[in-house]
Structure 1
Amino acid sequence: MVATLKELGPDIWIADGPIITAAAGFHYSTRMAVIRLSNGSLFLWSPTQISDALRTEIDALGDVAYLIPPNSLHHVFLGDWQRAYPNAKVYAPPGLAQKRRDIRFDGNLDGAMDSDWVDNIDLAVIRGNLITTEIVFFHRQSRTVLFTDLIQHFHPGWFKGWRAFVARLDLMVAAEPSVPRKFRAAFTDRSAARASIRQVLEWPAEKVLMAHGDPVTENGQAFIRSAFRWLTAA
């Protein structure tokens, strides 16, 4: 059997899921991360489509304790995971509890951290954006920062027709991973966003994981600083 999970660093694995269709017919790749906490339980970030093969590999790593949607846009498969792991805690980023009333949420991702993962994972709430409030995480053991939609990088040719033109304008297919222009424009409270990113830049990051783009495996802090220079230098 071909492995579904790929090791990214100590106690962190990633799995790529199916391509999904979002608004206006734009196709997006999907990716999740599995983090093993110091107590042996598992923290699942942005769960993608569930499968028997993926479950088998995850169950071999430990008990699933947390299902974490990192913003109000990444929730499509969350109900399936909650049905598969009914004892796992689910935390809601701002705006998601109102959108998914079919999901049982055990708490909010409002800056507070669960005691089970406070020694392994830090988080920053990126406030002030009209599209979504993204929660950015930092896994200390692997020195990995986890972004969802705020940094994206699709390969040339991913989008076709007029969508390719829009994607170029939006910096989704820029020469390097970038904050899309629609997210930049949606920051109505730049002071709040700037403070949040400065918190992220305090983390000693080596790697950066994105839901939509290849992982950055070295010089992560410098990469994040460059990606958000348009905001922090303002």
Structure 2
Amino acid sequence: MTPFGPGLWLFDGPPVMGAAGFQFPTRMAVVRLPDDGGLWLWSPVALTPEIRNTVDALGAVTHLVAPNNLHYKFLSEWAAAYPDARVYGAPGLTEQVAGTAIHATLCNEPNPAWGGVLEQVLVRGNRITTEMVFFHRGSATALVTDLVQQIPIGWFSGWRAVVARLDLMTAPIPSVPRKFRMATTDKTKAREDVQRILEWQIDRLVMAHGGPLTANGKKALTEAFEWLIR
């Protein structure tokens, strides 16, 4: 666990296996909501005993969030462990795929339970995923799941390292992987959504697949999406 601002913590989980044998680093964010002290979990990682004990020490888990239709792998085990928590999924994520009930689908209107703490924008127009990007006001932190990545160089080896480099997954700065760029079929909608994100007063940046930035988060996002908004 890494404290990352007032009421915000980051948890690095075990790697997860993706397509073609690619293993990806995983990261979860936990936000404490001030009204009831409940915990809001973004992109849950594997529920190890160590992580569960640490989360339980922070408070009661009340909200579980799958911010896109790819980050659901561990949603069901968290839902089973915390049956009183409400589960939220991005558009396109079904209960059959997630393996658990989804109480609400995320939209551009924040849930009243976290509306005063977090803002959100749904990035549309991508054939691979529809992702909800969040902004934690108290720490000026943007939370991005797959649309922007910076996996450390050396994480992959062999031909996978070559593919990751060409795809910009391991670029020297946070970048939108080429596969997501090519899958952006409605650039007008995507551009509108990204421009809304860049209106936030972002300082810090948290990526599910890449090291967190403690400063210049808006600059990093602007550069990552330059191909779209220029």
Give the TM-score normalised by the residue count of structure 2. 0.96
Residue 35 of structure 1 corresponds to which residue in structure 2? Answer: 31
Residue 95 of structure 1 corresponds to which residue in structure 2? Answer: 92
Residue 46 of structure 1 corresponds to which residue in structure 2? Answer: 43
* 2:63 alignment partner, one of 46, 54, 66: 66
Quote the Cα distance in structure 1 between the aligned partners of 2:13 and 2:98. Answer: 24
Deviates most, 104-113 or 180-189: 104-113
Check whether the contact 2:75–2:98 (CA below 8 A) recurs between aligned residues.
no
Tell me how large the CA RMSD over aligned residues is.
1.1
Deviates most, 108-117 or 69-78: 108-117
Quote the Cα distance in structure 2 between the aligned partners of 1:181 and 1:99. Answer: 29
Quote the Cα distance in structure 2 between the aligned partners of 1:6 and 1:157. Answer: 23
Structure 1 residue 155: deviation in Å?
A: 1.7
Quote the Cα distance in structure 2 between the aligned partners of 1:120 and 1:61. Answer: 17
Letter in 2 for 1:21: M
Counterparts in 2 of 1:101 and 1:178: CA distance versus 1, 3 Å: closer
Quote the Cα distance in structure 1 between the aligned partners of 2:98 and 2:41. Answer: 20
Letter in 1 for 2:20: A
Check whether the contact 2:95–2:101 (CA below 8 A) recurs between aligned residues.
no
> Which runs of no fewer than 5 residues in structure 1 stay unpaired?
none
Residue 116 of structure 1 corresponds to which residue in structure 2? Answer: 113
Counterparts in 2 of 1:55 and 1:98: CA distance versus 1, 3 Å: closer
Quote the Cα distance in structure 1 between the aligned partners of 2:153 and 2:111. Answer: 40
Structure 1 residue 98: deviation in Å?
A: 5.5
Check whether the contact 2:106–2:132 (CA below 8 A) recurs between aligned residues.
yes
Q: Which digits, 9 at most, give the CA deviation of each residue in 1:33-61, with x for residues without a partner?
A: 10011111110000001122222221221
Counterparts in 2 of 1:88 and 1:98: CA distance versus 1, 3 Å: closer
Quote the Cα distance in structure 2 between the aligned partners of 1:34 and 1:229. Answer: 29
Residue 148 of structure 1 corresponds to which residue in structure 2? Answer: 145
Letter in 1 for 2:117: N
Letter in 2 for 1:75: Y
> Which runs of no fewer than 5 residues in structure 2 stay unpaired?
none
* 1:80 alignment partner, one of 62, 77, 82: 77
Is 1:197 aligned with 2:194? yes
Q: Secondary structure at the match of 2:10?
A: strand
Counterparts in 2 of 1:146 and 1:24: CA distance versus 1, 3 Å: same
Give the TM-score normalised by the residue count of structure 1. 0.95
1:207-222, aligned counterparts within 5 Å?
207-222=204-219
Q: Which digits, 9 at most, give the CA deviation of each residue in 1:3-58, with x for residues without a partner?
A: xx110111100010111110011110111010011111110000001122222221
Q: Which digits, 9 at most, give the CA deviation of each residue in 1:41-90, with x for residues without a partner?
A: 11000000112222222122121110001111111111100001011110
Q: Secondary structure at the match of 1:19?
A: strand
Quote the Cα distance in structure 1 between the aligned partners of 2:151 and 2:96. Answer: 27
* 1:183 alignment partner, one of 162, 170, 180: 180
Matched residue count = 229
Check whether the contact 2:73–2:98 (CA below 8 A) recurs between aligned residues.
no
Residue 138 of structure 1 corresponds to which residue in structure 2? Answer: 135
Residue 127 of structure 1 corresponds to which residue in structure 2? Answer: 124
